[in-house]
Amino acid sequence: MSRLGSIDTDGTVDIKGLSSEFAKLYEELECQVEQNQNIEKCKTDLASILRQLTSVAHSLSHFDQELYSTKIDLLLKKITTKQLQASTNDDRRQRWKSRARPSVKPPAVTATTLPSDDKRGATCSITSDTTIEYELSKSSYRNLKNCKLVYHGTKLLREFATLAVQDVENSVVYFDVLPFNQGSLLLERFKNSRIVIVTPKGSNLQIRLHEMDHCQLYIRKEQADQVQDVIIEDFSNCVFHEASEKSIHIHNFNQLDYQNKESNDGYTFGDFPFDA
């Protein structure tokens, strides 16, 4: 894989350009992995991206470092799972062949041409008009339109977990209580959606919200006197529920300004119904 275009050979970084470039490359790689295409190459390309990001980590905000690291870890886990599944299937086929009689030659596999850059990722399916019950075994949900992603349990199911929900429109994400104590929650690229998240009392969870437009958010800890940290970036016309104002500490990282200054640009506090 060639160098990231947003990183100059002298180490200078175009922060905004890097965010867009990473998002596009990540989407392409994730789609290929989900479709079992070029798994080894995807792994190599991802490792190259990680090396390049690591080389300029000193120029990145803490938010971006965490964001890139979390997403790369999630995709690497998917790649590892795909490789293990492929290895298991190969073993089964080999055992079957060792018992089977010689058969006719199988048909040749037709090569599939990858789509052009501007169309890659278009085949990632969209889930629409349905209610999805959160499963702890899943680490990511993506491409939701007019959907509800819900969890109505209140029991702790696991000590540590990670969850990423991305590319969501006109939908609801609703957790009575997140069923894990430690780990991270990444919500990214939401439009016209509602988010209701309650985190367990005494939990140590990273919540990162990235690229949200016209969204309503109600986030707090289960225990009223505890405060939940929330990292946000690229917010526009969003509303946090006024009842949660004293229950969260918002760290606002504006993509265009990394001078360690925080503001309330992109969001306000207000009232809205937050039932599932």
Same domain, 132 and 203: yes
pLDDT band at 274 (very low <50, low <70, confident <90, very high): confident
State residue 91's pLDDT score: 52
Same domain, 132 and 62: no
Same domain, 22 and 61: yes
Contact 244, 223 (CB under 8 A): no
Residue 216 predicted with pLDDT over 90: yes
Dump pLDDT digits (tens) for 76-122. Answer: 878 877 777 766 655 556 655 555 555 444 434 333 333 433 333 44
State residue 74's pLDDT score: 82
Task: Please indicate whether residue 103 or residue 25 has the higher confidence score (pLDDT).
Answer: 25
pLDDT band at 3 (very low <50, low <70, confident <90, very high): confident
The pTM for the full model equals 0.60
Domain count for the chain: 2
Q: What percent of the chain lies above the pLDDT cut of 70?
A: 81
Is 133 within the bounds of a domain?
yes
Residue 105: give the domain boundaries: 1-123
Same domain, 132 and 224: yes
